[in-house]
Amino acid sequence: MAGPALKRLMAEYKQLLQDPPEGIMAGPVSDENYFEWEALIPGPEGTFFEGGIFPTKLTFPSDYPLSPPKMVFTCEMFHPNIYPDGRVCISILHPPGDDPMGYETSAERWSPVQSIEKILLSVMSMLAEPNDESPANVDAAKTYRENRDDFKRRAQILARKTLGID
């Protein structure tokens, strides 16, 4: 199955090179391995994460695009939808089909029509608008809900750290 997956990944990389989403850089770690990517996601303007450049890693399964990649922030993060170890928890990266918990519709979850660009844009949107209803990081969700000023302060510290300022 890796043949079709590799072709798809190569095509998506070519598309990202020709028409990259504003501010986002992404691509394979090496020409020898298109199944491991690195991406830099800017903190969206007008948000708590503004000004930061957040490094991530995407790992694609051999049956991509039938199954979604896994995505992890490789820098320190404090966000309701990012586990403390950096793993991203967002509907678009959840396996296709019905949600066993009944929280998401199948239309919100992964499908082969999704793309790396859509993932990156969704994660950027997630940074701008956290979902604290179904948190991956309960402490971050609680802080976001109950002490927005502290959440903002922590997010801004993290944004500066990505630039090597703090």
Q: Which residues does the annotation mark as catalytic?
A: 89
Residue 27 amino acid letter: G
Class of residue 152 by CB neighbours under 10 A (exposed 0-12, middle 13-18, buried 19+): middle
Angle (nearest 5°) at CA 119 between 72 and 58: 35
Structure tokens at 110: 């992964």
Torsions phi, psi for 103 (to 5 deg): -85, -40
